[in-house]
Structure 1
Amino acid sequence: MLVSKSMSKMVFSISAKSSLSKAITLQQKCQVNMFPVLDKGKLVGVLTDHDIQRASISDKIPLDTHEAIDIVSKVPVREVMTPNPITIPQDYTVGEAAKILLRNKIAGAPVLDTDGHVIGVLTRSDVLRVMILLTGINKKSFQYALRVKDQPESISQIVHVMRDHGCRFASLLISYHGVPAGSRDVYIRVYDIKDDVATKLIHKLNEIATVHYVVDTISEERRIIIE
């Protein structure tokens, strides 16, 4: 899924010349944790809640309340923002963007179009929303976690067995993380099967793979089926 289809398109930006007090008011009103900072329409930085908190406890803000109010009305955003921000191209996949956020330990980044204009912001919440969609976890289902041989036919065999048992597929994910060489882990989410079929299916799948667990979210109470 592309970033352009997953980002938060309602972008609240602020001018680099605006005061810190205006930024604080805007943050409280908009309930967002990061603003792109613009100067003559060009992205020059980002202002995060962390930047605001850091500025509020700096030497620029005295302990006297009245003096503090006067100063925050004069301190420009440019002085407290994070300059040269990390950005994400609109045509990146969400997976590529997630790697950028994780590698740089940031909670979000502005999204730029091909002309370098800010068109949105991608946050951790946006990434998690995509993960929920792609994994099919929002649909009541059974998730089977299996370890199979890293061979071309291994997954097709599993799919064939599940189809024979009337399964409909919500998602299929593959991981090599922490898996021994020559193997891979497969996570398949299926629905439209009854409880007894889901249990019988474990035995069939164990003939061609190793079933680690099955999570049932179809029942009234979530449960893990252990065989």
Structure 2
Amino acid sequence: MFVKLWMTSNVLTVTSVQPIIEVEQIMRENRVRRVPVVDGGKLVGIISREDLFRAMPSIFDPSISPETLDHAGRIEAASVMTPAPVTVEPATPLEHAALLMRSHKFGALPVVKGTELVGIITETNIFDAFLEVLGARKSGARIEMKIAHAPATFYTMLQVFKKNAMTILGITVYPDFSEEHQLVTVKVQGENIEQLIDALWEAGLQINRLNKEGSASGEEP
């Protein structure tokens, strides 16, 4: 999957010369935690709520005068933004974007074509993609199997699902489960799950756990 399939395209932005009091109001009213800073169609930075909290004194601090609060609110976005932020492109693999966000502890990444902002990919977008891949929003049986690393074993597994007329809703692979096995989890829909389980065992595939419509059974790994 690629970033372009999951990013938010209609991105709220501010300019580098906007007072941060305006930026804070925009973010609060639109319930967003960060906004890209764009000048003349070019991405120049990004501002988070944390950036604003650090720059603006608390209105509950009795030692802060109204004049100081007013002055702080007039600071331009350019003074508190993160300049030249890390970005991704629409064709960037989603897992690469997730790795960048994880390694840098970012909650979002601007998506650009050249210097033009075309979207933003957030933690929420990543979670949505994760849920979709796992078939979390659809009912079905989830089958966890330990299978050999040989490519032929994976092909055999898929053939069993095909012969039993099963619809695959989601599939995940944990290749480093052990030296001998990879852990494969498949979520399926079909008429006869019991028949499918028998066929998988007959094909030499070791079923580790079965979860059908929320009721779990099977061996622990």
Instruction: Find the counterpart in structure 1 of residue 143 from structure 2.
Output: 144
Opposite residue 215 of structure 2, the aligned amino acid is R
Shift of 1:65: 5.6
For residues 100-123 of structure 1, give each alpha carbon's deviation from its aligned partner in whole angstroms, at most 9, with x where no partner exists. 11121111010001x320011000
Q: Which runs of 5+ in 2 are unaligned?
A: none
Residue 223 (structure 1) aligns with: 215
Helix, strand or coil at the partner of 1:173: strand
Q: Are 2:3 and 2:90, in contact at CA under 8 Å, matched by a contact in 1?
A: yes
1:184 matched residue in structure 2 = 182
Match of 2:210 in 1: 214
Residue of structure 2 in register with 1:155 after alignment: 154
CA distance in structure 2 between the aligned counterparts of 1:84 and 1:170, rounded to whole angstroms: 40
2:144 alignment partner AA: A
Q: Output aligned runs, 1:1-227, within 5 Å.
A: 1-57=1-57, 63-64=63-64, 66-113=66-113, 115-177=114-176, 179-193=177-191, 197-199=192-194, 201-207=196-202, 208-217=204-213, 222-226=214-218
> What's the secondary structure of 1:153's corresponding residue?
helix
Q: Assess if the C-alpha contact under 8 Å between 1:16 and 1:78 holds in 2.
A: yes
* Counterparts of 1:124 and 1:63, CA distance in 2: 37
TM-score, structure 2 normalization: 0.87
- Shift of residue 200, structure 1, vs aligned partner: 5.1
What amino acid sits opposite 2:116 in the alignment? H
Show CA shifts across 1:113-145 (max 9, x none): 1x3200110001111111222222211111111
Equivalent residues of 1:34, 1:48 under 8 A apart = yes
Considering only aligned residues, what root-mean-square deviation do their CA atoms show, in Å? 2.2
Distance 2:57 2:103 in 1: 28
In the TM superposition, residue 38 of structure 1 has moved relative to its aligned partner by 2.1
SS at structure 1 position matched to 2:55: helix
- Which residue type is aligned with residue 71 of structure 1? H
- Contact 1:62/1:68 (8 A) holds in 2: no
SS at 2:43 equivalent: strand
Helix, strand or coil at the partner of 1:185: strand
Distance of aligned partners of 1:40 and 1:181 in 2 relative to their CA distance in 1, 3 Å threshold? same
**Deviation per residue, 1:180-213 (Å, 9 max, x gap):** 12421111111023xxx43454454345122221
SS in 2 for 1:52: helix
CA distance in 2 between counterparts of 1:159 and 1:74 reads 62
Unaligned runs of 5+ in 1: none
Length, aligned pairs only: 216
TM-score, scaled relative to structure 1 = 0.85
Provide the C-alpha distance between the structure 2 equivalents of 1:108 and 1:191, rounded to a whole number of angstroms.
34
- 2:146 is paired with a residue whose SS is strand
> Which is worse superposed, 62-71 or 43-52?
62-71
Percent identical across equivalent pairs?
Answer: 20
Distance in 2, Cα, partners of 1:190 & 1:130? 18
